[in-house]
Amino acid sequence: MLLQPVSQAESEAFDGFVGEHLHGDPLQGTCFGDLQASGGRSVHRFYLVEQGRPIGSLSLIGMQVGRLGTLLYAPRGPVLDPRQRVAWRVLAAELGQAFPRAFAFSCAPRLEHTLPHPPGYWERAGLALSPPVPRTVVELPLSGDPARDFERLSRRCRVKVRRAKSHGVTVREAGPDELRLFLGLMRQGPAGGWSIAQTPSDLADVVSAFAQRGQAGLFLAGEDGAVTAASIVIRLGRHALCKHFGGDGGGRNRAAGYAAQWAAIAWAERQGAERCDITGFRASDDRSLQELVRRFGGIERRYSLLEFPLRIGPYLGYRLLPSGRLRARTGATAAAAAR
């Protein structure tokens, strides 16, 4: 058997495994799963074991999608080498046995450009459907020395951070009672679209939950007592996710957002992170990534949303529904609607 259940008493060891695994991610740790469980969703954790040793792990969220049954969703997971093609097939088969009410398994594994994609539903079911569009994130490799890594950022970013300091912008780590300032900045930006939360208040709950475990930092930047930009970072072991929000035009022109973002990245590095995804908590499919790389530097990483049918009949009906609220929904869209 590949799946080995993980008990709540093993949470700390599980987080340690996820944090140190090459393909780990903070959203595959216990904190995000516990937060989902507090919202009434079922959460299941497994080690993926081969020949008596763990080769990966899986934090799985079960969501009810109407009469279709249960959608199993692994945010930024499973934690498994994409080259383990046999393991991926075994995983789909064992999930189908362990969750007979589930109709599909949706996951978003990290993939390098040169690695073959794991087998997806279009291979297993023999469907004439093209694979999902790969998503892209931007990561900064971290060496353990924030001063040296600052010099490796793009020239534009370094200039902006230094300019912010010369203009009197200060950055400080915020306390839990200052989340309201962070929420205010988020509400000035585009609504929705944070992947792990539907509203600013939901995302604040996520940040609070990670902060209580020492796995998150919130940084506020501004001048003369006014906060004009903020950045949040979530870290688990070697891996960090970072997102910044700008405020008014004055804050942007004086590069407060750059200063807040760099403070969050440096915090994660001092905590032991070896890479930081500066895209934030979701992948992006548009050209704004090119601007992100131009502003900060970094490396573009691509991964795909994959879906494995666990019950072919209902799943095909789900894919081919005619016009209506469920038309053309993918597993990711259904997962977002269930949040």
Do 200 and 121 fall within a single domain? no
Render pLDDT for 286-301 as a digit per residue (tens, 0 to 9): 557 777 888 888 888 8
- Predicted pLDDT at 331: 39
- Predicted pLDDT at 336: 46
| Structure confidence at residue 188 as a pLDDT band (50, 70, 90) | low
Q: Which residues make Cβ contacts (< 8 Å) with residue 122, sequence separation at least 6?
A: 128, 129, 130, 131
Neighbour count for residue 314 (Cβ, 10 Å): 15
Render pLDDT for 300-321 as a digit per residue (tens, 0 to 9): 888 888 888 888 777 776 765 5
Do 69 and 42 fall within a single domain? yes
Q: Is residue 6 a contact partner of residue 14, using CB atoms and an 8 Å limit?
A: yes
- Burial of residue 248 (number of CB atoms within 10 Å: 0-12, 13-18, 19+): middle
- Predicted pLDDT at 257: 87
For the residues 31-39, what does the mean pLDDT come to?
Answer: 90
What is the DSSP code (8-state) at residue 8?
G
Mean pLDDT, the chain, integer: 81
Do 219 and 318 fall within a single domain? no
Q: What is the largest CA-CA distance in the chain?
A: 63
Render pLDDT for 52-99 as a digit per residue (tens, 0 to 9): 899 999 999 999 888 888 999 998 899 998 888 889 889 989 999 999
Render pLDDT for 123-143 as a digit per residue (tens, 0 to 9): 555 554 555 667 788 899 999
Q: Is residue 59 a contact partner of residue 43, using CB atoms and an 8 Å limit?
A: yes
Does 189 have pLDDT greater than 80?
no
179-188 and 200-212 helices cross at what angle (nearest 10)? 150
CA dist 45 → 5, 10, 42, 201 (Å): 6, 10, 10, 26
Render pLDDT for 244-282 as a digit per residue (tens, 0 to 9): 776 544 445 568 889 999 999 999 999 999 999 998 877
Q: Both ends of the chain: CA-CA distance in Å?
A: 31
Helix (H, G, I), strand (E, B) or coil at 279: coil
Q: Give 236's strand partners.
A: 239
Does 147 have pLDDT greater than 50?
yes
Do 103 and 205 fall within a single domain? no
CA dist 152 → 134, 143, 164 (Å): 27, 10, 18
Do 149 and 280 fall within a single domain? yes
Do 93 and 217 fall within a single domain? no
Render pLDDT for 11-27 as a digit per residue (tens, 0 to 9): 999 999 999 999 999 99
Do 271 and 287 fall within a single domain? yes
Do 309 and 294 fall within a single domain? no
Spatial separation of the C-alpha atoms in residues 143 and 269, rounded to whole Å: 8
Do 105 and 176 fall within a single domain? no
Spatial separation of the C-alpha atoms in residues 116 and 128, rounded to whole Å: 19
Spatial separation of the C-alpha atoms in residues 75 and 91, rounded to whole Å: 16
For the residues 314-337, what does the mean pLDDT come to?
Answer: 48
What are 77's two structure tokens? Answer: 């997971």
Spatial separation of the C-alpha atoms in residues 280 and 275, rounded to whole Å: 13
CATH number of the domain residue 73 falls in: 3.40.630.30
Task: Residue count of the chain, please give it.
Answer: 339
Spatial separation of the C-alpha atoms in residues 121 and 308, rounded to whole Å: 5
What is the DSSP code (8-state) at residue 79?
B
Helix (H) or strand (E) holding 249: helix 249-253
Q: Which residues make Cβ contacts (< 8 Å) with residue 143, sequence separation at least 6?
A: 149
Do 66 and 174 fall within a single domain? no
How many domains is the chain partitioned into structurally? 2
The boundaries of the domain holding residue 253 are 138-300
Q: Is residue 178 a contact partner of residue 319, using CB atoms and an 8 Å limit?
A: no
Helix (H, G, I), strand (E, B) or coil at 46: strand
Q: Which residues make Cβ contacts (< 8 Å) with residue 329, sequence separation at least 6?
A: 318, 321, 337
Spatial separation of the C-alpha atoms in residues 21 and 23, rounded to whole Å: 5
Do 258 and 146 fall within a single domain? yes
Neighbour count for residue 190 (Cβ, 10 Å): 7
Q: Tell which wins on pLDDT, 194 or 29.
A: 29
Do 280 and 142 fall within a single domain? yes
